[in-house]
Structures are given as structure tokens and as C-alpha cells.
């Protein structure tokens, strides 16, 4: 028979130790900011600590508040308050934990998105998957492949999800087959990630996505010491692990400046079941009087976008600034060429990517659900800002200040609507 007093003392000790461990992990994460040579200015260090706050907020959502597979709730994996790994400004990410022995019903109501994807994972903490031999990642592409290749299955629309006439949908997630929309659950499943990609920000509406476990009956969750101990420990590990992992990954990728590379297509189970997906990116660095001209002919695909992040990997503010463009927002020339200008101030070009005052930026683009095998790499050339009028074709779409204000006003309204803020 367990001595209740001894058990109480043990639980108390484990709770206190977990909290101290979390604080130590947060302290370790801060070294990634303070030890970085670029963090010698107050502005850069402030952005670094803001980045850790984003990770902390993401960790609370991911490993605490959506971490009950018996009573699942879909939380935001990334949004305007959870910025890391240069996340997409066009996507509403959701997350919850699952029990591979369970049966779940996921529903999406009241929305209409360009793309909906449900992906099962054995873990979404990619720093656990991609570290080499328990140490820092040694190869960028190998690490990305290990992380994205860890998916266990996916279903999407377009793809296998059939929508109702009003656009709503329902998917059963289980090991046993079910009629209708069904996502088979691998025995290794521990998490599900939901993605909603938006193209026409003005017109498309986010779905309310909810999930329930339908093979259990219970009165509801209770707060248990061991569960809270695990959550507190995992929160600290999450912040420290992600900060360390992405710091190492960016160092591996930062060899060149002002050029972009397209990576090989990701695993077919990564996010959809209707076509191939490929990512690309690079790092930009320009002086106050310089600009970058980006050119590419986008492939035939369901969705594409390009966006900027800061040195720490936070996406640049996309609520109030045009730091991203997607295939619906971008203006192509008569030959189907996308031509954009990365600059610190508005060049009067429709396809302006605002650096938000960052001389160093990270760029990410994605070709999503392509119909062919081509994944082009955009060209990049650095020019003087004052020379843009001669560096760009005369037919390059221009925009005046009033039009820019209107676009930014609509942009703000769309983002706040998406995140219900």
C-alpha cells in the first residue's frame, strides 16, 4: 500500500524540481541571444528576447494547453503572437495531441480556405527528430529531411477531403477504417497539425476547427501533479530545444548572401495528398541605400508565396506591413514573371517586400501542390535604391501612396479577422 504522505512529498518535490528545470532551460535559451555577435546592439537583443517570448507562448499552447489526447482542443501552433522558424503569413496553423489507440472526429465549420491540410506526426518538436547523434544538426538539408519526413500521413483539400455544399467538412481519425473522410492513424501518432492557407485575404474565411475523442466517455479532465510536472518540464525543453535547433540550422544555411536556393520536394505525406510541395529560401543583407530585385516565373501550383523574417527567424510583421506576397496578391507581368523589390522604404512598386527596417532578413518561399515537376529558384540581384527606375522594366506595375494605404488597411483587417484579434 502506498504511503499517502510519502507520495505527497514525492509529488511536491517533483513539481518544484520541474519548475526549477524549466527556469534553467529558459536561462540556457537566453544564451543563444546574448552570446550571438549580432546581439551587441539593444535593438537586435530586444528582437532576440521578443523571439524567446514568441517561443514561450508557442510552447504554452503546444505542450501545455493542447496536450491532452483525451480532451483535445485545437490551439494555434503559430500566429502573430507565436513567430518562429519564419512561419508563413498566409497560414493558420493548429495543433493538438492524439492517442493512437483513440478515435477522433475533426470538424471544420464556417470557413473557406484556399487549402486545408491535416497531418499526423510522431512529434512536432522537430529539434528532437533532426539533431544528429544527440548533438547539433550537421547538415541543413539532412535535418530538414529528417524533420519533414517524420510525418505519418496526411489528408487535404484539394485532395482527399470532400467538402459539404456549404464548405464545411468532417474527418474521422482512427486506426480502423471509416466511411467518408478518413485519416488512417499510424500506431506512432502523437500529434496532429492543421493548416489553413489563405490566398484572397479579403474574401476567404478561417474555419473553426474542433476535434473530439469519440471512443471515450468521461466527466472531464482533472489537474494531476504528474501531468503538470510533465508540462512544466516540457515547456522549458521546448523553448531551449527550438531556440538551439534553429540557431544551429540558420548557421548552416547562412553561408551566402542575397541568393536563394530551392530544396528538393518534401515527403509525400508531409502536408497534402494532391501534389508535390517544395520550399526554398536564403538570407538577404542590404544597406540603407540598397535594394534587391527578385525575379521568377512561378510554376503551375495551387498556392505559392514569398515572405521575409528577421535574423532570429521571426516572420516580419505582416499585419501592418507588406512583408509577404502570395500568388493571389502578387502582380505578374505580361509574360507571367513575378518581379519584386526588397527595400527599406516604399519604392512605389506593387510587389514591394518591406524589410521593416532590418538590414539582415531571411526569405522563405514555397511552391505548394504543383502540377508538374518544376520548382524554380528566383534570381536575386542587388542594386542601388536610387537606380530602381532604370533597373526595372518600364512595364513594372507601379503603385501610388494612396493605393498602398488602401492595400495595407485591407491587409490589417484581414489578419485581425483571421486570428480573431
Q: Whole-model pTM?
A: 0.93
By the 8 A CB rule, do 150 and 129 touch? yes
Q: Give dist(CA 302, CA 321) in Å, integer.
A: 25
**Secondary structure E strands in 190-239:** 191-197, 208-213
Cell digits of residue 236: 522549458
Contact 94, 76 (CB under 8 A): yes
For residue 134, what pLDDT is reported?
A: 59
**So what's the pLDDT on residue 129?**
56
CB-based contacts of 113, cutoff 8 Å, min separation 6: 92, 196, 197, 198, 204, 205, 206, 207
* DSSP H or E run through 290: strand 290-296
pLDDT tens for 260-309 read 999 988 877 787 777 889 999 999 999 999 999 999 999 999 999 999 99
Q: Report pLDDT digits (tens) over 297-340.
A: 999 999 999 999 999 999 999 999 999 999 999 999 999 999 99
| Residue 6 or residue 401, greater confidence | 401
Residue 214's pLDDT is what? 97
pLDDT of 301 reads: 94
Sign of CA dihedral 348, 349, 355, 361: negative
Alpha carbons 25 and 232: distance in angstroms, whole number: 11
CB 167 within 8 A of CB 111: yes
Beta-carbon contacts of 400 under 8 Å, excluding residues fewer than 6 positions away, are 348
Tens digit of pLDDT for each residue in 30-85?
999 999 999 999 999 999 999 999 999 999 999 999 999 999 999 998 999 999 99
- β-pairing, 338-343 vs 352-354, is parallel
Strand partners, 216: none
pLDDT at 256: 85
Contacts of 171 (CB under 8 A, 6+ apart): 105, 106, 107, 118, 155, 161, 181, 182, 183
Q: In the prediction, which pLDDT does 126 show?
A: 66
Report, in angstroms and rounded to the nearest whole number, the Rg of the chain calculated over CA atoms. 23
pLDDT digits (tens, 9 = 90+) for 229-258: 999 999 999 999 999 989 988 888 777 899
Q: What is the pLDDT of residues 189-235, one digit of tens each?
A: 999 999 999 999 999 999 999 999 999 988 888 899 999 999 999 99
User: DSSP secondary-structure letter at 316?
Assistant: P
Please give the order of strands across the beta sheet that includes 324-326.
Answer: 261-262, 276-285, 360-370, 301-309, 324-326
Is 208 within 8 Å of 111 (Cβ atoms)?
yes
pLDDT for residue 188: 95
Instruction: Kindly report the backbone phi and psi dihedral angles of residue 26, in degrees, each rounded to the nearest multiple of 5, phi listed first.
Output: -65, -40
d(CA 213, CA 107): 12
Reported as a single tens digit per residue, the pLDDT across 369-398 is 998 888 999 999 999 999 999 999 999 999
Q: How confident is the model at residue 420 (pLDDT cuts 50, 70, 90)?
A: confident
Band (116; pLDDT cuts 50, 70, 90)? very high
Q: Which residues contact 45 (CB under 8 A, 6 or more apart)?
A: 33, 34, 39
Contacts of 106 (CB under 8 A, 6+ apart): 118, 170, 171, 172, 173, 192, 194, 209, 210, 211
Report the relative pairing of strands 290-296 and 301-309 from DSSP bridges.
unpaired
Dump pLDDT digits (tens) for 117-174: 999 998 877 666 555 555 667 777 777 777 676 789 999 999 999 999 999 999 999 9
Amino acid at each position: 500500500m502506498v504511503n499517502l504522505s510519502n507520495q505527497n512529498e514525492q509529488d511536491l518535490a517533483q513539481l518544484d524540481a520541474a519548475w526549477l528545470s524549466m527556469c534553467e532551460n529558459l536561462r540556457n535559451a537566453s544564451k543563444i541571444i546574448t552570446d550571438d555577435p549580432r546581439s551587441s546592439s539593444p535593438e537586435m537583443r530586444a528582437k532576440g528576447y521578443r523571439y524567446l517570448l514568441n517561443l514561450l507562448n508557442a510552447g504554452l499552447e503546444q505542450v501545455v494547453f493542447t496536450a491532452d489526447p483525451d480532451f483535445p482542443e485545437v490551439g494555434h501552433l503559430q500566429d502573430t503572437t507565436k513567430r518562429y522558424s519564419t512561419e508563413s503569413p498566409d497560414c493558420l496553423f493548429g495543433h493538438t495531441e492524439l492517442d493512437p489507440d483513440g478515435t477522433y472526429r475533426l470538424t471544420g465549420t464556417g470557413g473557406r480556405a484556399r487549402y486545408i491540410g491535416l497531418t499526423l506526426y510522431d512529434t512536432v518538436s522537430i529539434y528532437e527528430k533532426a539533431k544528429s547523434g544527440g548533438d547539433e544538426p550537421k547538415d541543413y538539408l539532412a535535418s530538414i529531411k529528417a524533420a519533414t519526413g517524420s510525418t505519418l500521413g496526411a489528408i487535404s483539400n484539394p485532395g482527399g477531403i470532400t467538402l459539404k455544399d456549404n464548405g464545411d467538412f468532417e474527418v474521422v481519425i482512427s486506426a480502423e477504417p471509416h466511411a467518408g473522410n478518413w485519416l488512417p492513424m499510424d500506431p506512432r501518432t502523437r500529434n496532429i497539425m492543421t493548416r489553413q492557407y489563405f490566398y484572397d485575404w479579403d474574401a476567404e474565411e478561417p474555419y473553426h476547427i474542433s476535434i473530439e475523442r469519440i471512443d471515450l466517455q468521461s466527466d472531464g479532465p482533472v489537474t494531476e501533479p504528474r501531468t503538470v510536472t510533465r508540462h512544466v518540464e516540457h515547456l522549458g525543453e521546448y523553448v531551449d530545444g527550438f531556440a538551439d535547433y534553429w540557431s544551429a540550422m540558420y548557421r548552416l544555411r547562412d553561408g551566402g548572401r542575397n541568393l536563394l536556393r530551392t530544396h528538393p520536394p518534401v515527403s509525400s505525406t508531409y502536408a497534402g495528398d494532391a501534389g508535390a510541395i517544395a520550399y526554398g529560401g536564403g538570407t538577404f543583407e542590404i544597406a540603407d541605400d540598397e535594394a534587391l530585385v527578385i525575379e521568377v516565373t512561378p510554376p503551375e501550383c495551387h498556392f505559392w508565396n514569398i515572405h521575409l523574417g528577421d535574423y532570429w527567424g521571426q516572420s516580419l510583421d505582416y499585419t501592418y506591413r507588406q512583408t509577404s506576397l502570395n500568388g493571389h496578391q502578387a502582380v505578374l507581368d505580361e509574360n507571367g514573371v513575378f518581379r519584386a523589390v526588397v527595400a527599406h522604404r516604399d519604392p512605389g512598386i506593387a510587389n514591394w517586400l518591406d524589410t521593416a527596417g532590418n538590414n539582415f532578413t531571411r526569405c522563405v518561399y514555397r511552391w505548394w501542390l504543383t502540377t508538374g515537376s518544376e520548382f524554380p529558384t528566383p534570381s536575386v540581384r542587388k542594386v542601388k535604391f536610387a537606380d530602381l527606375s532604370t533597373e526595372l522594366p518600364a512595364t513594372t506595375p507601379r503603385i501610388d501612396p494612396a493605393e498602398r494605404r488602401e492595400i495595407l488597411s485591407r491587409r490589417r483587417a484581414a489578419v485581425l479577422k483571421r486570428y480573431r484579434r
